[in-house]
Amino acid sequence: MNNKNIMTGLLYVVLSSYFLIQYILIESVRNFVVPFWIAVVCFTYGIFNIISYRSSEVVNLPLRYVSLPLILFGLAYVLVSYNTALGIVSVAVMSSILFNRPFDLRNFLIMLVTALSVALLYDLLVLKELV
């Protein structure tokens, strides 16, 4: 459980810092005035949200959901480089572990066959185009 203001503030601070850091590090970026001021406003808003602590509202951000896309798509990134179908099916199987609860073999097999068909169809179409 996290305070909504703090989490919102952190989101703004982290995202705007990505831009502000590049203003400090990369010289050519300094010519762009508009993004700089937008980044400053976003950063300030983020800091204001963190320190103001106005809201007692709490939001539920389970870590497994926050980390899930990174694990799922991270795996897909690695596997897609070797084989597209493998990457796509791996995402389906991994996400099935989360959504297929309690585990139902029939649903898992339906999902697997569908994902395999889509992936192989895509591979086939790409190969046909290449040939």
Partner 1 sequence: MIEYLQHTFTFNHVWYTVLGSVIGTIIGLIPGLGPAAVVSMMLPFAIGLDPISGIALLSGIYYGSQYGGSTTAILFNIPGESSSIMTVRDGHLMARRGQAGLAIFAAGISSFIGGVSATLLLIFLAPPLSDLAFLLGPAEYTILILLAFIIISVIAARGSIVSGMMMSLLGCLVGMIGVDVSTGVSRFSLGQDFLYDGINFIALSVAMFAVAEIMYNHASHGITRFDNITVKFSNLFQHLRQIFKPAARGSIIGTLLGLLPGGGITISSYTAYAYESRYDKTLGTGSIGGVSSAEAANNASAHSGYIPLLSIGLPENAVMAIMLGAMMIMGVMPGPTLINEQSDVFWGIVVSMLVGNILLLVLNVPMIRIWTSLLKVHKSVLYPIIFALSTLAVYSARNNPADILVLATISVIGYMMVALRLEAVSFIVGFILGPKFETMLTRSLTISGGDVSIFYTGWINIMMLSVITITLTYHIIKNRIINSNNNT
User: Where does this chain bind partner 1 (CB under 8 A)?
Assistant: 4, 7-8, 11-12, 15-16, 18-19, 22, 26, 28-29, 31-32, 34-35, 38-39, 41-42, 45, 59-62, 65-70, 72-74, 76-77, 80-81, 84, 87-89, 91-93, 95-96, 98-101, 104, 107-108, 110-111, 114-115, 118-119, 122
Cβ count within 10 A of residue 46: 20
The CA distance from 42 to 48, in Å, is 10
Q: Which residue, 50 or 100, is less far from partner 1 as judged by CB?
A: 100
Report the amino acid identity of residue 88: I
Query: How far apart are alpha carbons 26 and 19 in whole angstroms?
Result: 10
- Least distance to partner 1, CB of residue 91, Å: 5
Of how many residues is the chain composed? 131
